[in-house]
Structure 1
Amino acid sequence: MSKAVIDTASATVYISGQVDWDMNHQVSCHTVEGQLKKVLTNLTTVLDAAGSSIENLLNLRIYVRGELGEFMGDIAPILVQYLGESRPALTGIGVASLASKEILVEIEATAALK
């Protein structure tokens, strides 16, 4: 498994689910807002390593443990700040579980290469 796969024929980067994990699979924060910020930092790192950027995002899928609507007021401003002028297609999904009990947010993305 990998953090991202680059399709050179279409100049597209497919980024696997990013979560708030360190190298030991430990979370740094126990709130949706805190984890979302860490996940977006991780996503930026993967985008940069793949030769892409936030401005090249095509699609985001955000998975939140629980009812998504309960968190929209908290996560929307974080997303607006992170995305800046970028306007990728965005889907938010409330889920019952993620990779571990501590994980509250996961993001998958698709981006064009620069």
Structure 2
Amino acid sequence: MSIKHINPTTLYDGAPFGMSQATIETDSGLVFVSGQVDWDTNYQVKNGSIEVQAEAAAKNLLAVLAAANASADQILQLRVYVRGELSDHMEKVVPVLVKYLGVSRPALTGIGVASLASPDTLIEIEAVAKVSKQSVA
């Protein structure tokens, strides 16, 4: 097994936390994207509402996928973590997912949680995607 680490310079540096924004298992082409949040490069939340944080997290997700030579169409599984009761946020989050995922319909799990990466973080989105082996090289 060979692993390739993906860390776009436009996102915060995960190295101090011992993580990469994504890893690719190069034999299978599976891309595992770390939870994406609304952080700037200084690990600070940029926006206060869940809708805007969802937009930022989705944009970060697409940036990581692009750096891995993948796109939303190649997402196999998506997990969306929201602070609080999931049903309280669905009306705000679902339109953002539809906007950024387009016609892609990955397996999706939504999870309400008590806490996330920082006290101001309201949403985190992680994914598993698949790229062709030629794209990994």
Q: Give TM-score, length-normalised by structure 2.
A: 0.81
Letter in 1 for 2:49: T
Cα deviation per residue 1:38-78 (whole Å; 9 max; x = unaligned)? 00000010000011101101000000000000011111111
Provide the aligned length of Structure 1 versus Structure 2.
114
> What is the distance in 2 between the residues matched to 1:77 and 1:4?
25
TM superposition outliers: structure 1 runs of 4+ over 4 Å: none
Corresponding residue for residue 105 of structure 1? 123
Corresponding residue for residue 55 of structure 1? 73
- Corresponding position: 1:17 with 2:35: yes
- Corresponding position: 1:90 with 2:108: yes
Deviates most, 73-82 or 62-71: 73-82
Task: Please state whether the residue corresponding to 2:60 is helix, strand or coil.
Answer: helix
Of residues 23, 37, 44, the one that matches 1:26 is 44
Q: Give TM-score, length-normalised by structure 1.
A: 0.97
Quote the offset at 1:35 in angstroms: 0.2
> What is the distance in 2 between the residues matched to 1:77 and 1:111?
21
Gaps of 5+ in 2: 1-18, 133-137
Task: Please state whether the residue corresponding to 1:102 is helix, strand or coil.
Answer: coil
Identity of aligned residues (%): 55
Aligned Cα RMSD in Å? Answer: 0.8
